[in-house]
């Protein structure tokens, strides 16, 4: 059978993109949930009996939800333009609606940050992303979490698992912005 081309706003194309993006996000162990920006292209290869294989090219942006949250991409807010990571995912997914099957055969996503020179043109004072593994960002995360541990009503202390995003902005001095994952420890606050 020949490959069928779909319009990107076609219902079948949108359903295939949604199912593919759900499975791509579920498969990932690091980073943030990808949100569909637009369907760049979609081709369908109908199978002999039932179902189809879809070849998708999806433009994506990252969201404010970490992949460990397991939230659906539609439930996650996109980041502001100056902090966005954007890119493209190519995916092959088999869908058989009659048998309720959606199997992601393969995918590859290529991502990049918005270059700082573009950010500074639009927003010269905006913070710019930096390497989250730098010690200054871990220190900022630890200080922030210490305040949370002190003020929260949780029964156990939490520790920093890792810093996932970091940026710096020069105001009167350096201002550090960090996003980080935490984990509950076995240390009780009552001990």
What HEC string does 93-109 produce?
EEEECCCCEEEEEEEEE
**pLDDT, tens only, 6-44:** 777 788 899 999 999 999 999 999 899 999 999 999 999
Tokens standing for 155?
């029964």
Closest by CA position to 16, among listed 1, 6, 27: 6
Query: What residue spans define the domains of the chain?
Result: 4-117, 127-188
Q: Could you tell me what percent of the chain has a pLDDT over 90? A: 62
Assess whether the region 4-117 and the region 127-188 belong to the same CATH fold: yes
pLDDT averaged over every residue in the chain: 89
**pLDDT, tens only, 148-178:** 999 999 999 999 999 999 988 887 888 899 9
pLDDT at residue 1 in the model:
59
Q: How far is CA 66 from the centre of its chain?
A: 6
Mean pLDDT of the 117-128 span: 80
pTM tops 0.85: no
- Does residue 191 register a pLDDT over 80? no
Query: How far lies 39's CA from each of 36, 88, 161, in Å?
Result: 7, 10, 35
Strand order from edge to edge, sheet including 4-5? 4-5, 32-46, 52-66, 85-96, 101-113
Q: Which residue has the tokens 């009503």?
A: 153
* Alpha helices in 28-134, H assignment, sequence order: 116-122
pLDDT at residue 174 in the model:
85
Q: pLDDT-based confidence at 52, cuts 50/70/90? A: very high
Could you tell me whether strands 4-5 and 32-46 are parallel, antiparallel, or unpaired per DSSP bridges? antiparallel
Q: Which residue has the tokens 């043109």?
A: 121
Q: Do residues 126 and 98 make contact, with C-beta atoms less than 8 angstroms apart?
A: no
CATH architecture of the domain covering 127-188: Roll (3.10)
**pLDDT, tens only, 58-77:** 999 999 999 999 999 999 99
Tokens standing for 109?
């996503």
CATH architecture of the domain covering 4-117: Roll (3.10)
């Amino acid at each position: 059978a020949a490959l069928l081309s779909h319009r990107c706003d076609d219902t079948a194309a949108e359903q295939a993109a949604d199912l593919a993006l759900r499975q791509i996000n579920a498969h990932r162990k690091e980073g943030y949930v990808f949100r569909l920006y637009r369907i760049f292209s979609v081709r369908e290869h109908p199978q002999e009996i039932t179902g189809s294989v879809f070849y998708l090219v999806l433009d994506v942006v990252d969201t404010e939800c970490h992949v460990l949250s397991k939230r659906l991409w539609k439930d996650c807010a996109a980041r502001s333009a100056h902090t966005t990571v954007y890119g493209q995912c190519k995916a092959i997914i088999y869908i058989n609606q009659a048998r309720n099957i959606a199997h992601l055969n393969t995918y590859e996503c290529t991502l990049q940050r918005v270059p700082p020179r573009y950010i500074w043109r639009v927003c010269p004072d905006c913070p710019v992303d930096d390497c989250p593994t730098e010690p200054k960002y871990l220190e900022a995360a630890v200080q922030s979490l210490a305040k949370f541990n002190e003020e929260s009503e949780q029964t156990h202390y939490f520790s920093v698992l890792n810093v996932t995003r970091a940026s710096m902005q020069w105001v009167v001095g350096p201002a550090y912005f960090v996003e980080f994952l935490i984990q509950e420890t076995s240390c009780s606050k009552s001990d």
